Amino acid sequence: MIAYGEFGKIIGRINKMMKFELQPEPEYFDEKVRKKGNEWLNKNPDVTDTNKYPDHWKFCKEDLAKEFNYLCAYSIIRIRSVDIDTVDHYLSKDNYREQTYEWRNYRYANPKINSRKRKHDNKILDPFEVEDDWFEIQLPDCQLIWTDNLPEDKKEKAELTIKKLKLNNAPDFLNYRQELYYEYIDGDISLNKLKREAPLIARAIIKEIYFKGLNFLQNRDYQKAIDQFTETIELDQEYIDAYFQRAICYYYLGEYNQAIEDYTKVIENQNNNITTYNNRGVCYFYNNQEQEAIKDFQTTIKFKQNNYLFYANLSICLEKMGYIKQAILNLKQAINLAQKNNKLDECNYFYDKIKKLEKL
């Protein structure tokens, strides 16, 4: 039986902690903001000083704040009561006059961010286009960095965003991130509060715990790895990677019921992950739940028909249940696929296995 994912394979997080989604405009918006604003613009076509534009957008500022969970859309830090929150026009009033009173053009922003952004418009990353896994906080210096998941064609814009908005070298952001981080380390604030104030820092702390678990797993210290993955899950119940890695540890410790439970959690969130189906099938097999194991191995083959190991696993399970002909057929299929991959040792093993089964 072959299980996959050992030694810290990361299968990809599910939850969207920091993905902002454009929400429908409030019911009152058209009357109180758009119509009033556009009416003024139509009456004053020659006014170029945007400071003279009536700030009808103030009527929707509270709804905008809720849309962004009171987080600055660019720094991902909660706008504190000591700050003045602002409605940022992603496309500036100067360059895009017609977008001045449009809900889809508004972003909730710290005033310092807003003033630095000025007329850079779409040269700056739009918070609505940023995916959940493009950026992270580097500990312990609390620098904002992009991850390998940032598309290549977005890197120039990402660099300009960090530079122009001074997200890493402005004392008001970098120092505040560090202050929050060390307050958590010193026990002065809880992780739940940190999630509200600066969720990217909270995520980085959880990730740090998770990677401690990976190190224990790679060193085959499975119980300590389980402790770290369990702590990760307690802090973030949707940290799917932690369930996957903890299941691997349970498998090596022979605690198949717990492994099955964790793999099932992963499948509930990623129902097309063949590695998880295969590994759960292996656990079902060793847990004497052959029918369930067969279903999982058949699912892996459905998703990926050219992997000889999946057929081999299914064959072993069928043999245990006494379905010798079906076991031989699956071994023959495994041989065909193994030959295409030049797996000669595996082919010889499968041939010997077929000879033994044919004598039964």
Q: Is 225 within the bounds of a domain?
A: no
Q: 250, 6 in Cβ contact below 8 A?
A: no
139 plus 187 within the same structural domain: yes
Domain CATH for 308: 1.25.40.10
Domain end point (choices 77, 94, 120):
120
pLDDT of residue 33: 97
Q: Is 13 within the bounds of a domain?
A: no
Domain end point (choices 120, 153, 175):
120
pLDDT of residue 296: 94
Q: Is 129 within the bounds of a domain?
A: no
pLDDT of residue 1: 63
85 plus 141 within the same structural domain: no
Domain end point (choices 179, 194, 209):
194
pLDDT of residue 8: 39
- Which structural domain range is residue 78 located in? 29-120
60 plus 105 within the same structural domain: yes
pLDDT of residue 303: 87
113 plus 145 within the same structural domain: no
Neighbours of 274 (CB within 10 A): 18
Q: Is 165 helix (H, G, I), strand (E, B) or coil?
A: coil
Q: Is 3 within the bounds of a domain?
A: no
Q: Is 315 within the bounds of a domain?
A: yes
39 plus 115 within the same structural domain: yes
Phi/psi at 71 (nearest 5 deg)?
Answer: -100, 140
Q: Is 295 within the bounds of a domain?
A: yes
105 plus 70 within the same structural domain: yes
The DSSP code sequence of 183-207 is: HHHTTSS-HHHHHHH-HHHHHHHHH
Rounded-to-integer distance, Cα 272 and Cα 254, Å: 25
Q: Is 74 within the bounds of a domain?
A: yes
97 plus 35 within the same structural domain: yes
108 plus 43 within the same structural domain: yes
Q: Is 99 within the bounds of a domain?
A: yes
Residues with Cβ < 8 Å from 76, sequence gap 6 or more? 18, 135, 198, 199, 200
What would you report as the CA-atom Rg of the chain, rounded to the nearest whole angstrom?
28
113 plus 163 within the same structural domain: no
pLDDT of residue 18: 64
Q: 91, 106 in Cβ contact below 8 A?
A: no
Q: 137, 184 in Cβ contact below 8 A?
A: no
Q: How many domains does the chain have?
A: 3
Tens digit of pLDDT per residue, the chain (360 long)? 666 554 334 444 434 446 899 999 999 999 999 999 999 999 999 999 999 999 999 999 999 999 999 999 999 999 876 557 799 999 999 999 999 999 999 999 999 999 999 899 999 999 999 999 999 999 999 999 999 999 999 999 999 999 999 999 878 899 999 999 999 999 999 999 999 999 999 999 999 999 999 999 999 999 999 999 999 999 999 999 999 999 999 999 999 999 999 999 999 998 888 999 999 999 999 999 999 999 999 999 988 888 899 999 999 999 999 999 999 999 999 999 999 889 888 898 988 989 888 877
CA separation, residue 237 to residues 21, 118, 167, 311, 350 (Å): 22, 39, 29, 34, 42
Task: Write down the pTM of the prediction.
Answer: 0.81
106 plus 145 within the same structural domain: no
Q: 135, 73 in Cβ contact below 8 A?
A: no
